[in-house]
């Protein structure tokens, strides 16, 4: 039996996501990326709140670190707009269990946000193990994850120096929780309770989530398909902003394979639920993403050079690819 301390569900109609020329770094971006994200604004956060969130019922009291929105029946987006990454974790409810897909930055206590939303037994699973998606893992007892060397490394935690950039000046604009200390912030270790792999099905009772391993953004990137409700939780494999194929651990080649695979799901999915910025985008982006990668592969897409990498702009998103042709060695 589930207890929802909410007043009701909102039927959500999604407007097309406007093209956003922004940078969403994973890991430690240089200061210039923070500055540039604001475009013509004085600060990147001057562009907040993003208008897309006004389509959803908001459930929290607006005083804390997290913002909570009901984005689909039984699906809560737990959003952290106070830090540059604008990370989104998702609480997905079944009838007998709940799954928390990602646990955020670790700046606020996400377990305290989840507790009033459900009393069901809870499982954590991460879309991938970049620091900004595993920050609250240590607060939970049951954590599923892939049997992947990258995951295992990240589960051992990262020291302060490795993640200090994420809480540096210019990265956080909201008041942080009183027990948060930027000078000691680190990525806390955690233990995987149970492995999941390709085609694993996580049955929440009345809701089945299928695991799709989709490396590219990170070696352990995965998506969750809720076939009955026509939802695809995509983590950082797609969001309406620059997609990263050029950072440590990412793979352009793997990303192409994953994008092509996800495009085949477009007919059976209505919405994607991304790991950053906005909580729901149309599934047409699956096809657009695959087409974009194909155009890059065919050498027919235009790009600009940013920080020595190629940035290809498409309708509503871009793709950053390592290096430039001048870097190529015959
Ligand atoms: Zn990431």
When divided into structural domains, the chain yields a total of 1
The CA 59 to ligand 1 mean position distance, Å, reads: 26
The CA 75 to ligand 1 mean position distance, Å, reads: 21
With respect to residue 24, please indicate whether it lies within any of the assigned structural domains. Answer: no
With respect to residue 81, please indicate whether it lies within any of the assigned structural domains. Answer: yes
With respect to residue 185, please indicate whether it lies within any of the assigned structural domains. Answer: yes
The CA 217 to ligand 1 mean position distance, Å, reads: 7
The rounded distance, in Å, linking the Cα atoms of 262 and 256 is 10
Strands (E), the chain: 57-58, 67-72, 75-80, 87-93, 98-101, 122-125, 143-146, 194-196, 201-203, 208-213, 222-226, 231-235, 242-244, 271-274, 281-282, 303-306, 309-314, 317-321
With respect to residue 23, please indicate whether it lies within any of the assigned structural domains. Answer: no
The CA 44 to ligand 1 mean position distance, Å, reads: 19
The CA 4 to ligand 1 mean position distance, Å, reads: 30
The CA 218 to ligand 1 mean position distance, Å, reads: 7
pLDDT tens per residue across all 330 residues of the chain: 333 333 333 333 222 233 333 333 443 344 555 555 555 556 889 889 999 999 999 998 778 999 999 999 999 999 999 999 999 999 999 999 999 999 999 999 999 999 999 999 999 999 999 999 999 999 999 999 999 999 999 999 999 999 999 999 889 999 999 999 999 999 999 999 999 999 999 999 999 999 999 999 999 999 999 999 999 999 999 999 999 999 999 999 999 999 999 999 999 999 999 999 999 999 999 999 999 999 999 999 999 998 899 999 999 999 999 998 776 554
Please spell the DSSP secondary structure of 125-141, one letter per residue. Answer: E-S---HHHHTTGGG-S
Question: For the whole model, what pTM was predicted?
Answer: 0.88
With respect to residue 314, please indicate whether it lies within any of the assigned structural domains. Answer: no
What is the domain range of residue 93? 31-299
With respect to residue 157, please indicate whether it lies within any of the assigned structural domains. Answer: yes
What CATH number is attached to the domain comprising 262? 3.60.15.10
With respect to residue 129, please indicate whether it lies within any of the assigned structural domains. Answer: yes
With respect to residue 321, please indicate whether it lies within any of the assigned structural domains. Answer: no
């Amino acid at each position: 039996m589930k207890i929802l301390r909410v007043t009701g569900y909102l039927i959500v109609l999604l407007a097309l996501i406007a093209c956003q020329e922004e940078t969403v770094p994973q890991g430690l971006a240089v200061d210039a990326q923070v500055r540039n994200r604001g475009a013509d604004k004085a600060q990147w956060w001057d562009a907040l709140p993003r208008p897309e969130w006004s389509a959803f019922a908001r459930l929290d009291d607006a005083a804390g670190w997290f913002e909570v929105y009901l984005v689909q029946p039984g699906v809560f987006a737990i959003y952290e707009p106070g830090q540059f990454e604008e990370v989104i974790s998702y609480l997905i409810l079944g009838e007998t269990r709940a799954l928390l897909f990602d646990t955020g930055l670790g700046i606020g206590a996400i377990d305290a946000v989840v507790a009033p939303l459900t009393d069901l037994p809870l499982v954590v699973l991460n879309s991938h193990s970049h620091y900004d998606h595993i920050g609250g893992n240590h607060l939970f007892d049951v954590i599923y994850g892939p049997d992947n060397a990258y995951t295992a490394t990240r589960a051992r935690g990262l020291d302060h120096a490795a993640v200090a950039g994420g809480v540096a000046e210019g990265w956080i604009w909201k008041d942080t929780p009183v027990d948060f200390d930027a000078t000691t912030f680190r990525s806390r270790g955690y233990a995987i309770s149970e492995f999941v792999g390709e085609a694993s099905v996580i049955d929440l009772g009345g809701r089945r989530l299928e695991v799709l391993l989709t490396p590219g953004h990170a070696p352990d990137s995965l998506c969750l398909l809720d076939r009955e409700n026509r939802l695809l939780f995509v983590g950082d494999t797609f969001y309406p902003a620059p997609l990263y194929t050029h950072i440590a651990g990412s793979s352009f080649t793997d990303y192409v394979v994953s994008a092509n695979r996800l495009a085949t799901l477009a007919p059976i999915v209505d919405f994607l639920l991304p790991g950053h910025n906005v909580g729901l985008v149309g599934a047409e982006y699956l096809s657009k993403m695959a087409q974009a990668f194909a155009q890059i592969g065919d050498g027919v897409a235009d790009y600009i050079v940013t920080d020595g990498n190629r940035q290809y702009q498409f309708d509503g998103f871009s793709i950053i690819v390592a290096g430039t042709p001048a870097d190529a060695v015959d």
